Structure 1
Amino acid sequence: MKFNATPLPGAMLVELQPHEDERGFFERIYCEREFAEHGLPGRMVQANVSFTRRAGTLRGMHWQAAPHEEDKLVHCLQGAIWDVIVDIRPGSPTYCRWFGVELGGAGDRMLLVPKGFAHGFVTLTDDASVLYHVSQFHAPGTERGARHDDPAFGIDWPVPIRLIADKDRAWPDFAGNAQERSSA
């Protein structure tokens, strides 16, 4: 694996290095030792998959409230997504800045989303499958969120949003909601 910093401190693009032969390929997507050598989270306790049928579907922007914050390692296994993170760490020099990257398609890379970041994505293709490794066990009731079009972030989505869950459409403004901000 090759680790590349993003413009948001703590977030990393992880490029996979497949070993190919006539049978196909093999690639490591996680190694506790390699992650630790780069100062990244060394413990992932849960793996989840989301499957999205239609291009233009948005999932996010989500994070977990304290003390259940989680690091996420996001890998698009099928199709392609535009993956976006927003730094919502109070006091961070990059507070409310976002970073977006295409995952899947022809690329073989993952995005490490650190604690204190909102995360979401829009599907660029039909039938997109995304694998998440997370550092905390699921804790019902601790999910927080912000709208994908929240003016506090100004995210420039590369495709029109065609489908979004009512829950994700209804999150309050981030800048005007102190409870959401303090839960980050």
Structure 2
Amino acid sequence: MHRLTESIIDNATIILIIAHPDDEAMFFYPTISRAKRLHIICLSNGGYDGLGEQREKELQRAARRLGASATCVNNAALQDGPHAWDPSVVAANVGPWLHAGAVVVTFDRYGASGHANHVAVYHGVRRLAQTRRDCRFYALETAPHYRRYIGAFDVLCAAVRARFDPRPCLVQCP
């Protein structure tokens, strides 16, 4: 299992694939804040609660602050909600944004928070990873469920882990 290293972050174009605006900040900020060249592909505008237009604007502002670009795909089959998306639709909407040499970063099979849309993003991107040998694919390593309940002790555990393995918690997609 390979980890995304700082030299890769420094020298490659990072394409971050997320489901909703704010996923970039909630789950990926430590990695994307280091990227020299970053493009965020967001598959929905996050409009489940009726605030999609506002959330899309927030994504654009966040991208500008990071010195990045962002695209909100907004396909009718990829709307924010509790239902899983079809991975083939995810792959079809992500594929055109990839280019040779790109480093693709997304969720792992657990989707960080378990959200069905996040999990579907992983499965769609994984399909692309099986055919796009000209790109490198990495997934955020979801923390075990118990860590959500150990509070301040988790900070200590994370600090110890970082001391011995300071690389970002992104692993190469299988």
The structure with more helix, counted as a fraction of residues? 2
- With normalisation by structure 2, the TM-score equals 0.29
Higher-strand-fraction structure: 1
With structure 1 as the length reference, what TM-score do the two structures score? 0.27
